[in-house]
Amino acid sequence: MVKNSLKRENPDQERKIAVLLEDLSLLEDYVHDLFTFYPLPVCFVSLSGIILESNPAFEEISNFNSQEIIGEKISKIFGKKEGNEIIRKTVLEGPIFGEEKTLFPNQKPPLIVQIFTKPREDEEGRVIGFFLGLFDVTKIKITEETLKKTQNKLLQFLEDLEIARKRAEEEKEKTFDIINNFADGILVFDEEKRLTLLNPKVEEFFRCRGQGLIGKTIWELSSSPYFSSLVDLLGREVREVSREELSFGENLVLEVTSVALKSGNKKTGNLIILHDVTREKTVEKLKTEFVSLSAHQLRTPLSAIKWTLKMLLEGDLGEITPEQREYLEKTYQSNERMINLINDLLNVTRIEEGRYIFTLSPTNLEKIVENFLVFYKDEIKKKNLSVDFSKEKIPVLNLDQEKISLAIQNLLENAIKYTLPGGKIKIFLGQKEGNIFFSIQDSGIGIPESQKERVFTKFFRGANAIRIETEGSGLGLFITKNIIEAHGGKIWFESKEGKGSTFSFTLPIKP
């Protein structure tokens, strides 16, 4: 009975064993498939560090195929020192989790990897090897490094930006301090002609408070009595002007300059500078009055001296010796020069007071030129000068004959005086572009390049002119310029030192 029972149980055990073996085979296949298709690099390593088996991912990262890598020590891909250190730590200390190492693939640049190890033990618990898994963090490290560099650069940029901002704030404060303490008045208008800035000096000049004016257009500012004069000068469009005088009575005279503010080629507004010239104008007026008074006071005794000397020279007071005549003639000439200087000074004071042109009458310019050529005939002959007077038919103009004669005389006299003996003078009188045109060209000493800007200023005489002719007031060309401009004309010159000069002027032809 027992024997039969055993016979029945054996077939059941055999089936169970067969099933277990089949399951074990399937499990082995599953593990192998899992190991093969696992996306992370994994290998089995012996206790001595020899690679026993590797998956495709491991072969890909190491750039060794299975035949090349299996049987080799892990030092082949980590280096001897690092390979031994991995074995030592795993065997003696246990698993390694995420420690970074440098991997040296076959014929490829080194990689940064995190390693993971798990010891393998036998039935008695002895370590017989370990699993080695790798995780490539090279790109992450590069990204981290890049991010770190970018972060550092960004931080540096932000630091630089903050420094630049602080500097800009400091410069802005300095600029505002300069503007607020500037001796001149400063106004700034934007491109819409609205006032954006004015300094305390403007408030002082115009007796106003700036807070209520900021943001107003220039036209809105014209309601103020002081601003209305400025608006009349600059206009609604805020035109550019240079050193234009604006008078608010005797107590305030401003010199106005307006310049465009630009960003690249685009106009962004206007800067207005108001320079107080009240003191200079007062001093200038006092000086003019003093010169005028002094000249008038000197003129009377000089005239008396002139007529006394003339009477002596003409023998009205008795016969004189040749020696006496020589001394008296020199005295008479010096007195004449003094009278001419006084006349020039009086002309200058009249010009500065704005009362120089008095009487306008029909004037024949051709006749004036011819009369002066006759007047200077002896001087021209004495210096052996060649004078050519070319003329066209021109209309008679309504001019101040006395003053225009003085202007022509000054130009002709300078040409004769500063042209060396044997030189040439060419005079032309005609019409050009609807105006009367006069020019006088000489082959004289010319004007130094460095002194040309001062030619029409008061008391100017060229350095080379002083060497040739020590006497002279330096007022002739200043007076001439003002005479021409008072008649609505223009005067200019061209000159080259040692070659000569050409002075020209135009006068409008008025009906």
- Residue 1 pLDDT > 50, yes or no? no
Beta strands in 413-499 (DSSP E): 424-432, 435-442, 490-496
- Residue 40 pLDDT > 90, yes or no? no
Q: What is the Cα–Cα distance from 193 to 189, expressed in whole angstroms?
A: 5
Q: End-to-end CA distance of the chain: give it in Å, rounded.
A: 163
What CATH number was assigned to the domain covering residues 360-508? 3.30.565.10
- Residue 39 pLDDT > 90, yes or no? no
pLDDT on residue 320: 84
Measured from the Cβ of residue 253, the count of other Cβ atoms closer than 10 Å reads 18
pLDDT on residue 227: 80
What's the CATH class of domain 182-276?
alpha beta
Measured from the Cβ of residue 261, the count of other Cβ atoms closer than 10 Å reads 14
pLDDT on residue 3: 47
- Residue 358 pLDDT > 50, yes or no? yes
pTM above 0.85, yes or no: no
Tens digit of pLDDT for each residue in 384-397?
A: 999 999 999 899 88
Tens digit of pLDDT for each residue in 456-495?
A: 888 788 887 887 765 667 788 988 998 898 889 999 999 9
- Give Cβ neighbours of residue 507 (< 8 Å, ≥ 6 apart): 397, 399, 435, 436, 438, 484, 487, 488, 489
Q: What is the Cα–Cα distance from 24 to 22, expressed in whole angstroms?
A: 5
Q: Which ranges constitute the DSSP H helices of 113-265?
A: 138-180, 200-206, 218-221, 225-234
- Residue 126 pLDDT > 80, yes or no? yes
The band of 25, judged by pLDDT with boundaries at 50, 70 and 90, is low
Q: What is the b/e burial string over 86-124, where b = at least 16 CB atoms within 10 angstroms of the residue's CB?
A: bbebbeeeeebeeeebebbeeeeeebbbbbbbebbeeee
DSSP-derived secondary structure letter, 2: H
pLDDT on residue 20: 60
Q: What is the Cα–Cα distance from 267 to 233, expressed in whole angstroms?
A: 20
In the predicted model, what is the mean pLDDT of residues 146-162? 82
Task: Output 5 or 351, whichever has higher pLDDT.
Answer: 351
Q: Quick one: which H or E segment has residue 46?
A: strand 42-46
pLDDT on residue 288: 66
pLDDT on residue 34: 64
pLDDT on residue 130: 93
In DSSP terms, 115 is beta-bridged to 99, 134
- Residue 214 pLDDT > 50, yes or no? yes
In the predicted model, what is the mean pLDDT of residues 171-190? 82
Tens digit of pLDDT for each residue in 272-299?
A: 888 888 888 777 776 766 666 666 677 7
Measured from the Cβ of residue 305, the count of other Cβ atoms closer than 10 Å reads 16
CA-only gyration radius of the chain, Å: 54
pLDDT on residue 140: 86
Query: How large a percentage of the chain has pLDDT more than 90?
Result: 33
- Residue 442 pLDDT > 70, yes or no? yes
3-state secondary structure of 449: helix
Tell me which architecture the domain covering 26-141 has in CATH: 2-Layer Sandwich (3.30)
**Contact between 429 and 411 (Cβ < 8 Å):** no
Task: Output 146 or 14, whichever has higher pLDDT.
Answer: 146
pLDDT on residue 12: 67
Tens digit of pLDDT for each residue in 361-380?
A: 899 999 999 999 999 999 99
Place of tokens 């685009």: 266
**Contact between 412 and 372 (Cβ < 8 Å):** yes
